[in-house]
Structure formats: C-alpha cells, structure tokens
Amino acid sequence: MLNYCMITEGRYIDTYLPLHLKRANDFVDRFVLVDDGTFPNDALQRLSKHTTKPIVILTRKWDNNHSKQRNVYVDYVRNNDADGWCLVMDSDEFPSMELLSALRTLTRGESDGYETPSFDVRIPHKYRIDPIAKLLFQLDDFKEDVAGNAVPPQEVRELTSSLGITDYVFTKQYDFVKLNLFKVTQNTHYEGDVHEALVGQTKITRTRYPYYHVKDMLEVHRDGSRNYVEGGSGVNLLEKNPHWVELISVLGGRMNWHEFRDFYSTPLLIWLWNHVGDMGNPWSSETYDMYLWLLSKFIIPFRYEGTPHKLEVPNRPEIEDLYRKYLFREPDEPGLLTWSRAWYTLPITKIIEGFVNSEEYKMRKPTGRYVVWY
C-alpha cells in the first residue's frame, strides 16, 4: 500500500493540505497525517472533501523533536500495513507529477528507499519598517531579492496559482536530495532532533523525479537560524563550527531556539554581521539566515541599500548601550567616535573585552540608572 505521510499543523488546513490531497488522490492509497495538536475538531470532515482516499489523522503534541513526530507515521504504517510504503512530504513540499506517476513502478523495484531532488519555489519577503523607525531613521520598506536560475514549468505555475502566489523565483537544486519514498521495514525509523535522518533502509537509489519546496524567504531564514541554534549549524557541525562555538560564548550558553527567536540584542546582530561575509563553508548560509531572521524582528531596522549584503549598520545606539551597561554612565563624544570605528573591525567579544579590561571599568560605581542590553 502507498501511504502519503506528513507531519503538519492546523494553519495548513484550508491552504496547503487540500492541494496535497487533490494532487496525490489518484496515485496513493491512503493519507497519514500527524497533527501537532493544533488541528481543529472538524479537521477530518474538512479535509475529506478534497480526496476519495481514506485519511488517518494521528495526533502528537509538538515538543521540538522532528524524529519523534515522524516516527508516529512510520510506526502506524509498520503496524497496519505489512507491505507499506511511505511517500513523505512536508506541508510546503509538493511531489512533481513525474514523481507521482512513477510511484507504482518504483515500489516494485529492488530498492527500499528513493531520494528525490528538491526544486525550490522561493517567495521574496517584503520587510515592513515600523512607522516610528521610518520617521526617526528615514528608512523605507524593502523587498529581499531572490535569485532564480530556471524557468518554472507549467505545473509549478499551476501550483503557485492554486496557492495564491504571484511573486516567486524557481530554482533547480540537483545537489540537494531527500529520502522521501521508502518501504517501512522493522528497522525503519528516524533519528536526530533537528536534521532528522531516516535509517534502516538497505538499498537507497537516487531518482530524477523532483519535488517542489514552496517557502517564503523569511521562513527560510527562520528555519536556517533554528538549525544553527539547535543543531550547531545546518549540518550539525557543533564544535567543528567556530562561529557556533563563539556564539555560545557571546550568548552565555543560551542556545534554546524558543528563547533565541525573541532575542533582539543589537550587539548580537553586529556579531552576526561580522560573520556574514565568511562564505564558502558549511555554516555560512545559516549564519546569514540568523542575521536576516533577527533583523526582520528587530526593534531598530537596518538601512537597506539595494542588496542584502549592503545593509548599513547604525552603531552609536549600541555603543551607548555598552557604556551604560559596563561603565554606568553616558558616553563621551571621543569614545563614541573611537568605538564606532571598532564595530567594523573587531568581533563583539573583543569590543566587550575592551570595556571590561579598562581602568574605568575596574573603578566603576553602579548608579542604578542603567539596564543591560540583553
């Protein structure tokens, strides 16, 4: 039996999920949806209108562990289908018609797992600046440019039209594949918390049939920064990634994503910006994602100068914060000028060391007037 499996949430009930059901209806035998606890009570009735195939809804409250969530559908198929296959898609991933049409042939082959390439539909994000910040800093709203390198095929145009998406770019990523079609055996299961991996398959084959990943760029940055925080960058490098190790030091060991995503420290943005240009390594994209995600949420937006790599950093407010935190006083003009230049040449840890190693810091006297910046 061919099972169309996914972990999903209530916000997709009337948008992405109906399209999944209608698109795969003629190619699979059953839909197995793992709800994170946010499905409405009438979810089954609403979804059943879009398919003639049975829908199984399994609920497991989300606890930030992707593997445990995915193992729910694996266990269900293993316990209810002696010859079960899973085609796995996330809510924002859609199989190509080529892949759907080839499913029956693939499952009769010798392999027990198939990897498919990701073709990306990326929606540029429009950053809307707070009206007060616009007035104070003469800032304007801006849209993040996204590079595409391929003409979208007709089915992608139909897909985006069905989702109400009018502004996007299309990219073929043959170098990124996902193991999303597999036979469930006694050994099949997911491992890992963030970048979960399917294990237990004995013969995996790469196919040329793609799936389409549809995502707003702000979600790309958010997910990339979560990967960095929870997994030590997108490829789970942990202590092999010197940026990640330094970030732990900067944040004092705070590496919980749910705390980090509400962390609006300007010095942290400065630290990230210092590392954005360090490209060509396995963690560079996640560093950039972290920067843009926090930037989008930040109380004082940065000035946009045409491309994401030309964001101009306002520095005097951050320097003033350091004076108040470490020296318990308002900054003097020569000090502001000196440290303004330092922001562009030194990492944030060195900036702080400069304050705490100064004679004034050793002789400081708290006044109770100032608060920390994080």
**Is residue 372 very low, low, confident or very high in pLDDT (cuts 50, 70, 90)?**
very low
Which residue ranges make up each domain of the chain? Answer: 2-124+170-215, 316-362
What integer pLDDT is reported at residue 204 of this predicted model? 97
Mean pLDDT is lowest, of 11-15, 131-135, 170-174, 179-183, for 131-135
The pLDDT value given to residue 304: 42
pLDDT exceeds cutoff 70 at 164: yes
Express each pLDDT in 223-253 by its tens digit. Answer: 888 888 887 877 678 888 888 888 888 787 7
CA 104 distance to own-chain centroid: 32
Cα–Cα dist 165/159, whole Å = 9
Max avg pLDDT among 157-166, 273-282, 304-313, 346-355:
157-166
> What is the residue type of 3?
N
Instruction: Inform me whether the pLDDT recorded for 314 exceeds 60.
Output: no
pLDDT score for 12: 93
- The answer to whether residue 298 scores a pLDDT higher than 70 is no
How confident is the model at residue 236, as a pLDDT? 74
Q: What is the pLDDT of residues 84-111, one digit of tens each?
A: 999 999 999 999 999 999 999 999 999 9
Q: What is the pLDDT of residue 283?
A: 85
pLDDT for 312:
43
In Å, the largest CA–CA distance within the chain is: 77
Region 333-339 average pLDDT: 80
| Strands 55-59 and 30-35, sheet pairing | parallel
Q: How confident is the model at residue 162 (pLDDT cuts 50, 70, 90)?
A: very high
What average pLDDT does the structure give for the chain? Answer: 84
Q: What is the predicted pLDDT for the residue at 136?
A: 64
Quote the pLDDT of residue 206.
96
pLDDT score recorded for residue 65:
82
Mean pLDDT lowest among 170-179, 283-292, 342-351, 353-362: 342-351
pLDDT at 374: 31
Residue 181 in contact with residue 114, Cβ under 8 Å?
Answer: yes
Q: How confident is the model at residue 317 (pLDDT cuts 50, 70, 90)?
A: low
Q: Which is the CATH superfamily of the domain at 2-124+170-215?
A: Spore Coat Polysaccharide Biosynthesis Protein SpsA; Chain A (3.90.550.10)
pLDDT for residue 343: 63
